[in-house]
Amino acid sequence: MTPAVSFQKVSRHFGSVRAVDAVDLEIAPSEFFAMLGPSGSGKTTCLRLIAGFEQPTAGHIEIFGESADGVPPYRRNVNTVFQDYALFPHLNVLDNVAYGLMVKGAGKAERLAAAEEALKLVQLPGYGGRRPGQLSGGQRQRVALARALVNRPKVLLLDEPLGALDLKLRENMQEELKTLQKALGITFVFVTHDQGEALSMADRVAVFNEGRIVQVGTPNDIYQHPRSRFVADFVGSSNVVPPDFVQRYCGQRRWGSLRPEAIRIARETSGDGVTARVVSTAYHGSSTRVAVEADGLRLNVTVPAGAPLPGEGETVVLTFNRDQLHLMEDGA
């Protein structure tokens, strides 16, 4: 199948800054693809390369099998939803949404009908007459989405679109966006530095670091099988354990990662397991995070609400299933 977006050794350097560095990437049609990484890791630059706002310094980009070399943004079948929405304050909602169609020369009746339709898609029917200033942040976000969907792009690029919303609204919009994406079948490329958002929404996630993709896979792959310390730390909060520790339990001298929820705490100090001392406990509502020290290592353990909690300073025994100790390719 022809990929929706394909990067072949794509770089975008700004002077000595390697914003994007020799990235290979294939995004499938109708895929919900998340680009996840810390600030400055090159996610937005990748998005801008797909949109055509940036040109690669080296390498080659194809969109649905067609070379994007030299193709300006408005000739790509791609739209972008920006974090700050970028709505025109002096135009009403309907005209904001219809704007892209006007630029493409669509007649008035056609573009207003399409804009009404797009507003329905984002659950804002009847809001066409308002100005952006008369809407809440969440509503403005929906208008920006409607505007990007109105001419049914084949690829929709979303740059931290939920970043400005409060947590509750953000969670609602995450669900809605996912439902909308599945219903429309449009390829979504979604940039975020929020790992929870990437894991819960995307079909696949690319983890970025310093202009490179360090791992790409399904949310489950990325979470359960991080390839490196960077991915294990960035995606969730894993315990990265050194080769000595891993060798003792698995016989292999490799770096490992052990998720806090994979460890159980027993208070009796008999039986086999890792003897540890409780350093601190932090209540998180549905669970408590217990920090322990074992074999000179600091480990985090998640104890579900309702389970007995050890006290600070207490000696405990940690157990885990060996298959939960995931071996990594490197400890960097």
Strand partners, 36: 192, 207
Distance of closest approach, residue 211 Cβ to ligand ATP, in angstroms: 7
By the rule CB under 6 A, 29 interacts with ligand ATP: no
Subset of 160-199 contacting ligand ATP (CB under 6 A): 193
Nearer to ligand ATP, 95 or 159 (CB): 159
Q: How far apart are CA 42 and CA 20, in angstroms?
A: 5
Nearer to ligand ATP, 57 or 92 (CB): 57
Q: What is the DSSP string of 234-280?
A: HSS--EEE-HHHHHHHHS--S-EEE-GGG-EEESS--SSSEEEEEEE
What radius of gyration, in Å, describes the C-alpha atoms of the chain?
Answer: 24
By the rule CB under 6 A, 16 interacts with ligand ATP: no
Contact 235, 254 (CB under 8 A): no
Size of the site for ligand ATP (CB under 6 A): 12
For ligand ATP, which residue of 29, 40, 59, 243 counts as binding (CB under 6 A)? 40
Sequence-ordered list of residues with C-beta below 8 angstroms from that of 299, at least 6 positions apart, any chain: 239, 241, 258, 260, 263, 276, 291, 292, 293, 318
Nearer to ligand ATP, 82 or 99 (CB): 82
Strand partners, 294: 297
For ligand ATP, which residue of 4, 10, 19, 118 counts as binding (CB under 6 A)? 19
For ligand ATP, which residue of 4, 37, 146, 320 counts as binding (CB under 6 A)? 37
By the rule CB under 6 A, 142 interacts with ligand ATP: no
Query: Which positions touch ligand ATP (CB under 6 A)?
Result: 14, 17, 19, 37, 39-45, 193
